[in-house]
């Protein structure tokens, strides 16, 4: 299994970036991972935000940690163990992580390295809003477009 890591501050755009990556991957299926019931629930691409999802792309499953493990209060190791327990074969990980993890027993980078081959780390910088009357106008910024295109390309090349 291979992975990419998206690092950013609280409200730094991790989940928004991951949602856009997932949209551009054109998944055939989207599921939310229910930790408590240890099962997948049908979801929509627009549901991807600050939680954990599994998307199917080119017949392979990608585990999408759109909310940093510390924000979800569950370690990446535990999330991966749940997917193993429910017999979901993950081909790739997209993982959000806060710039610094301050919760005891959380070490997302160690968990990534224990379960996968980290192929890319992206440290997010805030992308300026182009039009102050439109909070999504940053998506018109070439820096944003290039970021998403680059990350999608990395994932496609590694699944």
pLDDT at 125: 85
Q: What is the DSSP string of 81-128?
A: HHHHHTT--EEEEEEEEESS--STT--HHHHHHHHSEEEEEEE--PPP
Beta bridge partners of 62: 55, 92
pLDDT of residue 10: 84
Give the closest residue to 129 by CA, choosing from 119, 141, 118: 141
Residue 130: the pLDDT is 64
Please give the Cα distance from 54 to 132 (Å, whole number).
34
pLDDT of res. 142: 85
Q: Which pLDDT band holds residue 134 (cuts at 50, 70, 90)?
A: low
**Could you report how far apart the first and last alpha carbons of the chain are, in Å?**
8
- What are 14-63's pLDDT values in tens digits? 999 999 999 999 999 999 999 999 999 999 999 999 999 999 999 999 99
Is 0.75 surpassed by the pTM of this model?
Answer: yes
Q: Give the pLDDT confidence score for residue 62 in this predicted structure.
A: 98
Residue 126 has pLDDT above 90, yes or no: no
Beta bridge partners of 30: 55
pLDDT reading at 128 higher than 80: no
Residue 127 has pLDDT above 80, yes or no: no
The per-residue pLDDT for range 62-118, each reduced to its tens digit, is: 999 999 999 999 999 999 999 999 999 999 999 999 998 888 999 999 999 999 999
Helix (H), strand (E) at residue 144 = helix 142-158
User: What is the pLDDT, as a whole number, of residue 131?
Assistant: 64
> For the chain, which residues make up each domain, given as ranges?
2-158
């Amino acid at each position: 299994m291979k992975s990419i890591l998206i690092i950013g501050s609280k409200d730094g755009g991790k989940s928004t970036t991951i949602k856009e990556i997932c949209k551009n991957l054109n998944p055939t299926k989207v599921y939310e991972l229910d930790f408590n019931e240890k099962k997948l629930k049908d979801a929509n691409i627009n549901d991807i935000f600050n939680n954990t999802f599994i998307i199917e792309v080119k017949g392979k499953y990608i585990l999408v940690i759109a909310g940093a493990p510390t924000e979800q209060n569950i370690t990446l190791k535990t999330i991966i163990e749940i997917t193993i327990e429910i017999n979901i074969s993950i081909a790739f990980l997209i993982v959000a992580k806060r710039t610094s993890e301050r919760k005891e027993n959380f070490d997302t980078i160690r968990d990534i390295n224990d379960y996968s081959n980290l192929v890319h780390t992206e440290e997010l910088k805030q992308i300026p809003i182009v039009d102050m009357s439109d909070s999504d106008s940053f998506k018109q910024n070439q820096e944003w477009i290039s970021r998403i295109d680059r990350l999608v390309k990395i994932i496609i090349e590694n699944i």
